[in-house]
Amino acid sequence: MTAVREALLVLADGTTFEGEAVGAEPPAGVASGEVVFNTVLTGYQEVITDPSYAGQIIAFTYPHIGNYGVSAVDDESRRPHCRGVIVRELARRRSNWRSDGDLDAFLRRHGVPGIAGVDTRRLTRHIRDAGAMPAAFGVADESTLASAAVTEPGTDGVDLVDQVTTTHPYTVGSGPYRVVAYDLGIKTTILTHLGRFATVEVVPACTPADDVLARDPDGVFVSNGPGDPATVPYTVDAIGGLLGEVPVFGICLGHQLLAAAMGGSTVKLAFGHHGGNHPVRRLRDGAVEITSQNHSFAVAEGSVPGSEVTHVNLNDGVIEGIRATDVPAFGVQHHPEAGPGPHDAAYLFADFVALMDVHR
């Protein structure tokens, strides 16, 4: 049996949690990042491999993580980009016919450190009250971890998209529509949805509008991604050059950048929305959708000229969707592709197809 390696988690405000080290060994026994909590009951592998978590440490509120192992087909990107994971109990034995490995080995293989045995209920309550904040964890001594937590910059003002976007264009899918997708940290499940109706050329986040229009697309998709939307002005400029020229659909960070290109602004939420059970009202008919979400920033209410709000979060009233009133463009803050999560909002891909049909 592997010996238990005692570890500590220290938040930037000095709050300390005891646990044991799991996953990869971080350099000098210290891993740091911004701690956020995620409320999914299943889908931990999809969460860990979502590039939107770059720069962040994921604390799972569900107490038992890893019980069904991991499977290569569930990866949402080539590798995890998160800084680490925090769990109450890491399963010592996997039990699922689909699994081809266990979570601890998966973390070690990808160089992702973790800490288990943490009182995640206390941690979640603290973040909910104090807000997401930088932290450090590992097997180093408490003073070293406290210093690392205080000096960790977090995600504000850091261009994390540049760390996760593709470096070269590539194509997926073989559908009849031609779609250019901006990769800000795009998930595999999104590409699967788009590929069902389109031939999708995925391009780097810094691709200028002229280069996209030269590809003669029927529509442009702007993906999810990590961090502060204010650090991605190059994509905002590109979207501005596309509006009115071709239909645009944005998800999560893509929705925020669409709003910015239309003249809007964003704000950072206290602890963000991370989970698979967020209720959203669709304003066109009052229907309530249960959605998958992963974002720390949101579009500021009343800040986007030439638009109407299409969806709102029923937990806190945050804007969940906008539609341009003078050009073919819309975006949603939540994730209609799920992966993991419910599929209530999957119709939005059909809305994108309908928009392309009108302007094709």
Each residue's pLDDT, cut to its tens digit, for the chain (360 residues) gives 467 899 999 999 999 999 999 999 999 999 999 999 999 999 999 999 999 999 999 999 999 999 999 999 999 999 999 999 999 999 989 999 999 999 999 999 999 999 999 999 999 999 999 999 999 999 999 999 999 999 999 898 899 999 999 999 999 999 999 999 999 999 999 999 999 999 999 999 999 999 999 999 999 999 999 999 999 999 999 999 999 999 999 999 999 999 999 999 999 999 999 999 999 999 999 999 999 999 999 999 999 999 999 999 999 999 999 999 999 999 999 999 999 999 999 999 999 999 999 998
Reading the block at residue 53, the tokens are 């978590």
Look up 82 and say whether it is catalytic. Answer: no
Fold classification of 6-151 is Glucose Oxidase; domain 1 (3.50.30)
Q: Give the pTM.
A: 0.95
| pLDDT score for 2 | 64
Look up 335 and say whether it is catalytic. Answer: yes
Of the candidates 101, 190, 132, the one whose C-alpha atom is nearest the C-alpha of residue 13 is 132
**CATH number for the segment(s) 161-359:** 3.40.50.880
The strand pairing partners of 198, in sequence order, are 177
> How far, in Å, CA of 147 to CA of 17, rounded?
15
Given the residues 34, 201, 252, 273, select the one marked as catalytic: 252
> How far, in Å, CA of 84 to CA of 23, rounded?
9
What DSSP string runs through 71-119? -GGG-SSSS--SSEEE-SEE-SS---TT-SB-HHHHHHHTT-EEEES--
> How far, in Å, CA of 192 to CA of 290, rounded?
21
- Alpha-carbon Rg for the chain, nearest whole angstrom, is 20
Residue 161: in which H helix or E strand, if any? Answer: helix 161-164
- What does DSSP assign to residue 338? -
Q: How many CB atoms lie within 10 A of CB 15?
A: 16
| pLDDT score for 360 | 84
Going from N- to C-terminal start, the domains of the chain cover 6-151, 161-359
Start-to-end CA span in the chain (Å): 62
Contact between 142 and 104 (Cβ < 8 Å): no
Query: Angle between the 253-261 and 233-242 helix axes, to the nearest 10 degrees?
Result: 60
Q: Tell me the pairing of strands 219-222 and 177-183.
A: parallel
Contact between 229 and 297 (Cβ < 8 Å): yes
Q: How many CB atoms lie within 10 A of CB 302?
A: 10
Placement of tokens 């980009």 in the chain: 81
The strand pairing partners of 113, in sequence order, are 23
Look up 206 and say whether it is catalytic. Answer: no
> How far, in Å, CA of 167 to CA of 198, rounded?
22
